[in-house]
Chain A
Amino acid sequence: MSTSEPGPADPAAAAPDAVAGAPDPAAEPAAPRATPLRAVHESLGASMTAFAGWLMPLRYRSEIAEHQAVRNAAGLFDLSHMGEIAVTGPGAGAALDYALVGSMSALAPGRARYTMICAPDGGVLDDLIVYRLADAEYLVIPNAANTAVVAAALHDRAAGHDAKVDDQTAEYALIAIQGPHAARILAQLTDISLDGVKYYASHRGTVSGRPILLARTGYTGEDGFELFTAAADAEAVWTALAEAGADDGLVPAGLAARDTLRLEAGMPLYGNELSAQVTPFDAGLGRVVVFDKPGDFVGRAALAERGQAPARMVLAGLIAGSRRVPRHGYPVTWDGVSRGTVTSGAPSPTLAVPIAMAYLDPEVATRARGDTEGRLAVDVRGKPEPATITDLPFYRRPR
């Protein structure tokens, strides 16, 4: 067999290349960084893989079973590869207002926001979650692959503001517990009243006696929490959660399940849906760009123009009409002519058919909605496979 795998930032690129034989010269450098939980993963028998410069668990047993556990019970994730960049000082809010497309000075302490950092031309450098921990204290969470780029950009853009930028990634571990049982498992171990923690809010407290910053955030489409701990506490917190949830369906879950969960939830992945070649508006996420905030911000002029102009592409959901999976980079065709590109695709464990996100020509996206003649297709390695267009997300959790 020879394996073909999607693009560079997709966890798919982290699939073992052993099946393909020769190592990919563009693969990760020889010695990826280990997270504080490496020994735990190895003792659990995880398939480990290099991803964005880190050695991460791809799966422990079956990624489909891990995916379904998160949908039906709970899953435990090591996200310690994500960056943690502290931005502190009296001018931190103003610095972030200038550096990012959102309004961070308007964020209340204890709340978090999904936002982006853009280049002057409006291209997305990364998507971020920003926590305001106190009046003069923010924590910025970039993707692992972009941590250095984001830290450098924040440092440059904070110049002239009374703010300090400090990449603290090495000091933190990040553990997520996600799924309908997450709250009741976590409640056994924490002094924080979880009922009082809103979506995209954060609290300081303890888990199993260890200090943590807890946030009701996630990347799975389920209710859940992300726990920032000191690197030295990671193993104790992970083990306490694993034990507390063992009888409640909690399983460790790897990057493979994380990718199918976020895809079903219609959430973008940097390197797939987002890149320096697209603006937030192209990705259908123009709402993150806040123009009525004090002062200028990097990318304002370009984004203002992009936001007014007709859409040049539309991020659409596709449902495959065959069992062959549309994957990253495959052309999307209309009447046999390429009119778009798949950004992410996978067999959906919940829908039991392959699903994908794709950038489409806006005209095709409109016409495909009424299409009953099978004119929309994905070119799956040379053979057109029928597809239908659908609204995102593919999956919405029952409430």
Chain B
Amino acid sequence: MTIPDELRYTAEHEWVSISGTVASVGITDYAQQALGDVVYVSVPEPGSRVTAGEPCGEVESTKSVSDIYSPVDGEVTEVNEDLEDDPALVNTDPYGAGWLMRIRLDPDSDDSGLLTPDEYAALTKESE
């Protein structure tokens, strides 16, 4: 299981990469392993408002369905359209080609609640 150093995480097993005013979001390697084969990903339409901690989409796998929570406040600018035809990218490359969406951060968006890689690693250990 990998937890890249350069990303931030949530307790809901999402990763966030903030570059300037844009956050890229996906689910972690830990999450994709726990879910098994992902067969469908639903994310908000570009232009939608999302709020940190609020559900904004879902991931369907063979065995279960999981809510996606927005890690930040902002507006969705782009979604990963490749997942429409190939949702298994979430399994094969969760931190790369399996990204879910990009969000333009609100000016007052507060990312202090996001977890560091160490904090996230500790959290996944607890769950085991």
* Chain A contacts to B: CB under 8 angstroms: 1-6, 11-12, 15-16, 18-21, 47, 58-59, 62-64, 256, 259-260, 323-325, 327, 346-347, 381
Contact = CB atoms under 8 A, between A and B. Distances in A.
Contacts of A47: 33, 36
A40 B14 CA distance: 32
Contacts of A260: 62
Contacts of B91: 62
B116 interface: no
A16 B61 CA distance: 12
Contacts of A1: 12-14, 27, 31, 59, 66-69
14 contacts: A3-B66, A4-B65, A4-B66, A18-B127, A19-B66, A21-B127, A59-B36, A62-B36, A63-B37, A256-B36, A323-B39, A325-B39, A346-B63, A347-B39
A347 B40 contact: yes
A80 B12 CA distance: 35
Given A3-B35, A18-B34, A324 B60 contact: yes
Contacts of B12: 1-2, 21
Given A1-B31, A3-B35, A19-B64, 7 more contacts: A1-B12, A1-B27, A4-B65, A19-B35, A21-B127, A324-B60, A325-B39
**Chief secondary structure at chain A's binding surface:** mixed
A12 B60 contact: no
A6 B62 CA distance: 11
Q: Which 9 A-B residue pairings sit nearest by Cβ, starting from the closest?
A: A1-B66, A18-B127, A323-B40, A347-B39, A15-B63, A3-B66, A19-B34, A16-B34, A64-B37
Interface in B45-62: 58-60, 62
Nearest to A349: B62
Given A18-B34, A18-B128, A19-B13, A12 B40 contact: no
A12 B63 contact: yes
Nearest to A325: B60
A21 B60 contact: no
With most chain A CB atoms within 10 A of its CB, the pick from B11, B14, B65, B67 is: B65
A11 B14 CA distance: 25
B42 interface: yes
A179 B33 CA distance: 26
Interface string B1-31: 0000000000111100000000000010011
B114 to A, nearest CB: 15
B124 to A, nearest CB: 8
A18 B11 CA distance: 11
